[in-house]
């Protein structure tokens, strides 16, 4: 099957948001049906490719190697999960008159277009299209960040579009430099200098000085989209202000897609420079910074959605740290991205449930969560433990491998990372337990008037995520699991 | 063809001069017009390149630059600003003369560090590379120094003009599909920023970014 069918399906799903019907429920059903269709198509395309031989030298606009297929599976999984959660979330927001029909339409339009742009970014073989797709991820989600048209949402959306667009513009400068390197090396025509596979094939002939400049711009520019410190400032605002299902996708998969892009260019740079350590230093330095700063920000946090957003920065930092450790580190980094995508989206879905009940994202205003919302609370806690790498979570497998490898190659930095992880562990548990057990003696304590919650669609999705987090975690600790992930990263290994 | 080439430095100079003036202007309409003039100079430089090299793909970039950057974006920005009754007087953290010194500082900095750009020695003429990097930095400077949404948009677009110029002198032009995508992304981005600016103006009653400081840890 050609990727074009995936794009067409998403365009049709997006256009259905504006069919002339006034029932928001039908709109939600259409959107959910669309997500199911996309997942089937994406699975049909991606799953055979996951086990195929790496296809390095495609001349076409699109290519699908195991690495791209791996990300396509992540995107489709989270799209389906978020669409199921959205079905309940948007229905509730409409019922409570928090949003209107036009906002439902905007949501149903933006979400498939957002997925379309991420899919295109993952499958394209053309670096120009890759840039357009990355920029489109920002443009399609800007109004989802400003969804509630409140003052803070507008502020978040403004920072989001301005900082991310500027970052991606710098990324374009890096992309142009890579194309220029191809142009200067000779052997590539005007069309081929934008072809990723061709760039990879001819990388050894590029001038290393140009490639270094190009990689710096790519790393800083697209690293803004990954959320690396200190380019992260937009992320806590945007991720905390979007509707929770979208926060789940933003944290769970958009950051991964941006990192995917950097890794594609890292391979070209590594081949050109004849070593991997030059690019790995960037991952190491920015990775450690992106773990340490969020540790302190999570410690002082008063907002549970912002806490999760800072945790996303930390996890991207961990993935970068693992990549920076050397070629072997890429395997735990990819495992980490899977675990983070499953775990973080689950927690954002849970945060949506908390928000629906308490109408606030402030930790101090959420009281007696375990008593009023036992299903949400228990699932949230279990998901949090998974995210904090408690075994048998997938994140335990990845962090176990990366710390083990880190102690051999970069023990001082690894110790710094361990201290930061300890701070994060204690802080996140403390904030969560505050929401669980703290109570307010005053009459204004809303929790005392709340009815006990029932099992919802969101809880089913959260439970499925939790189960998957454990199953994947156990699989990653087996020899076949490690072999499978090693096969995935073969597509981006320089083998120098 | 040689006579056409004589105009090239003029257009690049015009682009740089207009972009240097932009950060010092505190009147919205004039600032937007200067951006349009800078973009026009960029389009004219592209036309000269097209006449000299005959790369047909450039025709699309020329048309898109004229249509989008010279006409559409300035017009949309002005229409939106008028609709919400935005003030024509803009806010800056520092005075125009100080801004001028900072911009000159940027130009000197780029000039002094041009030896680090020796890897791009094949890019001719060299002043175009100098101009493109200067535009990127001027755009950045403007986004940092100015405290109103319109200046931040124009700062971003100035930065983007620098990247367009860099693209022109390094790789020329990509395929129509990619060029179309890039110009569409720029247009949609500018329109979304303008729509957001309208909402911000309606909500806060000002185009200043000072009220956008609520989200802290």
User: For B29-45, what is the mean pLDDT?
Assistant: 96
Whole-number pLDDT of residue A57:
46
Q: Using 50, 70 and 90 to split pLDDT, how confident is the model at A451? A: confident
Whole-number pLDDT of residue B119:
76
Cα(A488)–Cα(A73) distance, integer angstroms = 12
DSSP state of A96: T
Would you tell me how many other CB atoms lie within 10 Å of the CB of residue B216?
8
Question: With pLDDT > 90 as the criterion, what percentage of chain A qualifies?
Answer: 87
Domain ranges for chain A: 275-496
Q: Which helix (H) or strand (E) holds A484?
A: helix A479-489
**Residues of chain A neighbouring B167 (CB-CB closer than 8 A):** 176
Is the CB of A176 inside 8 Å of chain B's CB atoms? yes
**Nearest beta carbon to residue B152 from set A162, A179, A183:** A162
**Residues of chain A neighbouring B172 (CB-CB closer than 8 A):** 190
Question: With pLDDT > 70 as the criterion, what percentage of chain A qualifies?
Answer: 96
Q: Rg of chain A's alpha carbons, rounded to an integer?
A: 22
Between residues A59 and A475, which one has the greater pLDDT? A475
Indicate yes or no: CB of B212 within 8 angstroms of CB of A129.
no
Please provide residue B89's backbone torsions phi and psi, each rounded to the nearest 5 degrees. Answer: -90, 125
Closest residue in A to B182 (Cα–Cα): A132
User: For A327-351, what is the mean pLDDT?
Assistant: 97
Q: Using 50, 70 and 90 to split pLDDT, how confident is the model at A255? A: very high
Alpha carbons within 13 angstroms on the beta-carbon side of residue A451 total 3
Domain ranges for chain B: 2-204
Whole-number pLDDT of residue B57:
81
DSSP state of B6: T
Q: Using 50, 70 and 90 to split pLDDT, how confident is the model at B16? A: very high
Question: With pLDDT > 70 as the criterion, what percentage of chain B qualifies?
Answer: 98
The predicted-structure confidence for B154-208, as pLDDT tens digits, reads as follows 999 999 999 999 999 888 766 777 888 889 999 999 999 999 999 999 888 888 8
The predicted-structure confidence for A174-218, as pLDDT tens digits, reads as follows 999 999 999 888 778 888 899 998 999 999 999 999 999 999 999
Cα(A307)–Cα(A363) distance, integer angstroms = 10
CB B97 within 8 A of CB B74: no
**Residues of chain A neighbouring B176 (CB-CB closer than 8 A):** none
Q: For an interface test with A, which of B181, B183, B201, B204 has the most A Cβ atoms less than 10 Å from its Cβ?
A: B181
Whole-number pLDDT of residue A447:
62
User: For A351-377, what is the mean pLDDT?
Assistant: 95
pLDDT at A348 over 70: yes
Indicate yes or no: CB of B213 within 8 angstroms of CB of A135.
no
CB B149 within 8 A of CB B197: yes
Q: Using 50, 70 and 90 to split pLDDT, how confident is the model at A442? A: low
Cα(A391)–Cα(A251) distance, integer angstroms = 22
Distance of CA A378 to the CA centre of its chain: 24
Cα(A62)–Cα(A20) distance, integer angstroms = 35
Q: What is the reported pTM? A: 0.95
Question: Minimal Cα–Cα distance from A135 to chain B, Å?
Answer: 7
Whole-number pLDDT of residue A441:
62
DSSP state of A359: S
Q: Using 50, 70 and 90 to split pLDDT, how confident is the model at A282? A: very high
Counted residue by residue, chain B has a size of 217
Whole-number pLDDT of residue A249:
97
Task: Please identify which residue in the block is written with the tokens 């945007």.
Answer: A238
Q: Where are the beta strands (DSSP E) in A256-348?
A: none
**Nearest beta carbon to residue A132 from set B181, B204, B212:** B181
Q: Using 50, 70 and 90 to split pLDDT, how confident is the model at A63? A: confident
CB A291 within 8 A of CB A317: yes
* Mean pLDDT of chain A, nearest integer: 93
Between residues B155 and A149, which one has the greater pLDDT? B155
Question: Minimal Cα–Cα distance from A45 to chain B, Å?
Answer: 24
């Amino acid at each position: 099957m050609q990727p074009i069918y995936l794009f067409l399906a998403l365009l049709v799903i997006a256009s259905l948001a504006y069919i002339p019907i006034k029932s928001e429920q039908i709109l939600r059903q259409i959107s959910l049906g669309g997500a199911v269709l996309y997942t089937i198509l994406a699975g049909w395309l991606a799953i055979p490719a996951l086990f195929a031989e790496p296809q390095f030298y495609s001349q076409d606009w699109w290519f699908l190697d195991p690495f791209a297929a791996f990300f396509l599976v992540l995107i489709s999984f989270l799209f389906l999960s978020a669409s199921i959660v959205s079905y309940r979330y948007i229905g509730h927001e409409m019922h409570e008159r928090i949003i209107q029909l036009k906002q439902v339409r905007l949501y149903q339009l933006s979400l498939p277009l957002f997925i379309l742009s991420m899919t295109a970014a993952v499958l394209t073989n053309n670096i120009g299209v890759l840039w357009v797709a990355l920029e489109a991820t920002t443009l399609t989600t800007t109004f989802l960040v400003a969804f509630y048209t409140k003052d803070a949402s507008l502020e978040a959306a403004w920072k989001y579009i301005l900082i991310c667009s500027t970052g991606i513009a710098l990324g374009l400068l890096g992309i142009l430099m890579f194309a220029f390197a191809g142009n200067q090396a000779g052997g590539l025509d005007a069309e081929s200098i934008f072809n990723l596979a061709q760039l990879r094939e001819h990388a050894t002939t590029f001038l290393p000085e140009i490639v270094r400049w190009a990689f710096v711009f790519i790393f800083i520019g697209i690293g803004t989209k990954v959320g690396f410190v200190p380019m992260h400032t937009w992320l806590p605002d945007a991720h905390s202000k979007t509707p929770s299902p979208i926060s789940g996708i933003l944290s769970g998969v958009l950051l991964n897609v941006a990192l995917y892009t950097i890794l594609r260019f890292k391979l070209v740079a590594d081949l050109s420079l004849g070593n991997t350590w030059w690019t790995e230093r960037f991952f190491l330095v920015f990775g450690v910074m992106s773990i340490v700063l969020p540790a302190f920000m999570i410690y002082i946090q008063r907002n549970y959605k912002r806490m999760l957003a800072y945790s996303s920065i930390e996890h991207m930092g961990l993935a970068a740290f693992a990549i920076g450790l050397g070629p072997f580190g890429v395997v735990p980094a990819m495992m980490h991205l899977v675990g983070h995508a499953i775990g973080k989206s689950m927690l954002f879905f849970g945060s949506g449930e908390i928000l629906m009940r308490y109408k606030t994202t402030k930790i101090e205003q959420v009281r007696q969560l375990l008593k009023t919302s036992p299903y949400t609370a228990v699932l949230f806690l279990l998901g949090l433990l998974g995210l904090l790498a408690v075994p048998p979570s997938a994140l335990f497998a990845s962090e176990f491998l990366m710390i083990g490898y880190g102690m051999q190659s970069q023990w001082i930095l690894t110790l710094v990372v361990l201290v930061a992880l300890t701070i994060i562990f204690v802080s996140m548990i403390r904030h969560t337990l505050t929401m669980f057990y703290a109570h307010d003696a005053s009459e204004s304590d809303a929790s005392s008037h709340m009815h006990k919650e029932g099992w919802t669609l969101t809880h089913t999705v959260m439970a499925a995520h939790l189960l998957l987090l454990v199953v994947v975690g156990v699989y990653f600790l087996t020899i076949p699991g490690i072999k499978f992930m090693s096969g995935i990263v073969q597509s981006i290994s320089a083998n120098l | 063809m040689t006579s056409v080439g004589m105009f090239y430095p003029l257009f690049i100079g015009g682009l740089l001069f207009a972009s240097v003036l932009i950060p010092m202007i505190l009147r919205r309409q004039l600032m937007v017009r200067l951006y349009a003039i800078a973009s026009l100079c960029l389009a004219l430089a592209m036309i000269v390149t097209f006449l000299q090299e005959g790369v047909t793909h450039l025709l699309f970039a020329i048309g898109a630059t004229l249509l989008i950057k010279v006409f559409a974006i300035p017009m949309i920005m002005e229409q939106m600003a008028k609709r919400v009754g935005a003030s024509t007087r803009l806010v800056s953290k520092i005075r125009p003369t100080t801004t001028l010194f900072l911009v000159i500082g940027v130009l000197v900095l780029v000039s002094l560090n041009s030896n680090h750009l020796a890897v791009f020695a094949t890019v001719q003429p060299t002043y175009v590379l100098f101009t493109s990097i200067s535009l990127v930095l001027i755009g950045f400077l403007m986004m940092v120094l100015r405290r109103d949404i319109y200046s931040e948009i124009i700062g971003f677009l100035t930065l983007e003009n620098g990247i367009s110029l860099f693209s022109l002198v390094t790789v020329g032009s990509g395929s129509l599909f990619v060029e179309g995508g890039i110009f569409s992304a720029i247009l949609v981005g500018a329109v979304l920023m303008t729509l957001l600016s309208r909402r911000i103006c309606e909500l806060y009653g000002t185009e200043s970014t000072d009220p956008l400081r609520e989200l802290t840890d």
